[in-house]
Copies of this chain bind each other. A is one copy, B any other.
Amino acid sequence: MTPTIGVFDSGFGGLTVLRALMAQMPHARYAFIGDTARLPYGSKSRRTIARYAAQCAQFLVNQQGAEFLVIACNTASALALDAIQDAVQVPVLGVIEPGAEAARAASRTGDVLVIATDATVQSHAYAAACRARGLRALEMACPLLVPLVEEGWTGPLVGDAVETSAAQAASAPPQVAASPQVAVTAEVIRIYLAELTAEAAALGMNPDVLLLGCTHYPLLRPLLERAVPNGMKVIDSADATAEAAVRLFGQQDAQKHSPSAQDQVRCFATDSVEKFERLGSRFLNRPTGKVELVDLGG
């Protein structure tokens, strides 16, 4: 029996974590649930988030047979990991600790910048996880980045006039013309990073890692890598979590009973199935297949 890994997010951004998991463990089965009826979690109380997250975890374990859970939601990882671990009898992995661990491995100066949603920043979960590893972290909320990703104003940046010098543009392959939309996203990133690096400098920090603390941000990775100061590494919690999952659960993948493609991933959502199917494939980098609607109650 091929093991099933359950992946949970408040929305569909966590599909970037699922994508990273599938790249690392191609022989597992996956069940993904996005609690789209009740997002965003970020504006809700810890108690409410814990209740919603426990319901989703129980759905994955009790109804989908998940043997491990990955909480691909920064807010739930920050505020409800204990509650989820109490609610189910299987191992549970969040995205915060693997992200902080990857930052520790990558940083030489010990100073780390974290960008995330407002809710994740207000939880200060990344700062705490970094501090526990001897790192100093400066966090900043970047509320425009999620809607820019959901609008699809990302994409390749070859030849982009805002961020590309003439010499770079001349040598770059002429794959995709710069669009005004991508130029907007690049400018928004420039504004956010300018503010964040100025604040870090004012605090006497010397950061050499930018940690992406939101599951939407991997889709901005090319733009972010182009925008960071020279020598700064971009670390992605989705990738870091997939690598941690391999260490925790990876031996299960060795059985290599590869499921058939259409059986490998089942996606569930509590609402907005159409939007999930329409946008999810960009996050997963392959079609989500039919997304099944489930009702977990109020």
Chain A residues at the B interface, C-beta cutoff of 8 Å: 36-37, 39, 43-45, 48, 143-144, 146-148, 150-151, 153, 180-181, 183-184, 187-188, 190-191, 271-272, 275, 297-298
Contact = CB atoms under 8 A, between A and B. Distances in A.
Contacts of A181: 191
Nearest to A183: B187
Contact of A191 (B39, B43, B45, B184): B184
A51 to B, nearest CB: 10
A271 B144 contact: no
Contact of A180 (B44, B48, B187, B298): B187
Nearest to A118: B275
A191 B45 CA distance: 37
Contacts of A36: 43
Given A184-B188, A191-B184, A271 B45 contact: yes
A272 B43 contact: yes
Contacts of A39: 43
Given A144-B148, A298-B298, A43 B184 contact: no
A184 to B, nearest CB: 6
A158 to B, nearest CB: 20
24 contacts: A37-B44, A37-B48, A43-B271, A43-B272, A43-B275, A44-B271, A45-B271, A143-B147, A143-B150, A144-B144, A144-B151, A144-B153, A146-B147, A147-B147, A180-B187, A180-B190, A180-B191, A184-B184, A184-B187, A184-B188, A184-B191, A187-B187, A297-B298, A298-B298
A256 to B, nearest CB: 39
Given A43-B275, A144-B144, A144-B147, 9 more contacts: A37-B43, A43-B272, A44-B271, A143-B147, A144-B151, A180-B190, A183-B187, A297-B298, A298-B298
A67 B39 CA distance: 33
Contacts of A144: 144, 147-148, 151, 153
Contacts of A187: 180, 183-184, 187
Contacts of A183: 187
A109 to B, nearest CB: 28
A292 to B, nearest CB: 16
Contacts of A271: 43-45
A187 B179 CA distance: 12
A151 to B, nearest CB: 6
